[in-house]
């Protein structure tokens, strides 16, 4: 999926919502445990409830890998069920070099190889350009590079400064932008500080950001829209547990929470999106 198609979907739905499918058998309603594939049955219920409010789905791959072969089967069925026009993110946070990186890319991007056909994958940049470049060789696929995350430990490295006082996250972003363009690369940017949102948008004016941290982690959706929205919107704001585990009746509660976020996003698109 290219950026034009993604922006068109954002505009038509009045939403830049990404729903995280972090499906945990210990957290889903017990009624799903009676199904032959509880994970897929739960994901299907979430997708049916939220697809008209969201523009992206983001399975967190760890939740599927932890289940072994059955988890991969659930992931494959989930991917096959997601409507084709909705953007998909493999939240895998891979990071390795050479042939290994290419095999990771092939796993999530090449349906002839693995059966999976994600639009994008999250990648850790710590090993440098040769750990990212193999992902960029796949046409119409996206790398979503970890840049400034919202977890407490992010300050251990991401905010550290060298002798020229430039923080590491900024170095990562500026260098990564020489590896791939705004049609190939997005950045993961945490939502917890409005001043950082403003700064990263200045660094990367044309790139899409995948933004976690709204809601439970303290980030403000309005701050994200006000300080980080671009002329192409440039935002995918993720909500996982706040939607998929919002109540015991998954169909009702997921739809309610997704609709609530979509309505707020529509308001901010009208207010802050300068086309």
Give the residue ranges of DSSP H helices in 17-152.
38-50, 61-65, 69-81, 98-109, 133-136
Please tell me whether residue 92 adopts helix, strand or coil conformation: strand
Structure tokens given for 168: 């590491």
Asked whether the beta carbons of 184 and 206 are under 8 A apart, the reply is: no
25 Cβ contact list (under 8 Å, min separation 6): 33, 38, 39, 67
The reply to whether 141 belongs to the active site is no
* Catalytic residue from among 77, 93, 226, 260: 93
Structure tokens given for 86: 């909705």
172 Cβ contact list (under 8 Å, min separation 6): 125, 145, 147
Distance CA(24)–CA(75), nearest Å, equals: 13
Distance CA(188)–CA(122), nearest Å, equals: 8
The 8-class DSSP code of residue 23 comes to -
Query: What crossing angle do the helices spanning 194-203 and 221-228 adopt, rounded to 10°?
Result: 30
Kindly list the distances between the CA atom of residue 231 and the CA atoms of 9, 193, 207, 234, 275, in Å, as whole numbers in the listed order: 15, 21, 10, 7, 5
The residues that are catalytic are 93
């Amino acid at each position: 999926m290219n950026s034009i198609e993604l922006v068109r979907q954002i505009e038509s739905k009045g939403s830049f919502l990404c729903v995280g499918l972090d499906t945990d058998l210990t957290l889903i309603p017990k009624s799903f445990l009676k199904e032959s594939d509880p994970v897929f049955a739960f994901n299907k219920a979430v997708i049916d409830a939220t697809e008209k409010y969201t523009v992206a789905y983001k399975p967190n791959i760890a939740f599927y890998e932890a289940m072994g072969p059955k988890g991969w089967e659930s992931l494959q069925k989930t991917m096959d069920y997601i409507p084709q026009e909705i953007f998909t993110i493999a939240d895998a946070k891979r990071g390795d070099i050479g042939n290994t990186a290419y095999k990771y890319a092939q796993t999530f991007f090449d349906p002839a190889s693995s059966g999976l056909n994600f639009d994008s994958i999250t990648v850790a940049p710590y090993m440098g350009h040769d750990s990212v470049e193999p992902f960029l060789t796949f046409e119409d696929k996206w790398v979503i590079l970890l840049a400034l995350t919202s977890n407490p430990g992010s300050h251990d490295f991401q905010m550290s400064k060298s002798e020229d006082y430039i923080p590491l996250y900024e170095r990562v972003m500026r260098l990564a932008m020489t590896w791939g363009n705004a049609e190939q690369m997005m950045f993961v940017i945490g939502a917890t500080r409005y001043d950082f949102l403003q700064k990263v948008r200045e660094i990367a004016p044309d790139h899409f950001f995948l933004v976690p941290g709204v809601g439970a982690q303290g980030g403000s959706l309005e701050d994200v829209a006000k300080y980080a929205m671009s002329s192409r919107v440039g935002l995918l704001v993720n909500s996982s547990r706040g939607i998929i585990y919002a109540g015991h009746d998954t169909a009702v509660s997921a739809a309610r929470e997704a609709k609530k976020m979509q309505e707020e996003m529509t308001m901010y698109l009208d207010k802050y999106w300068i086309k």
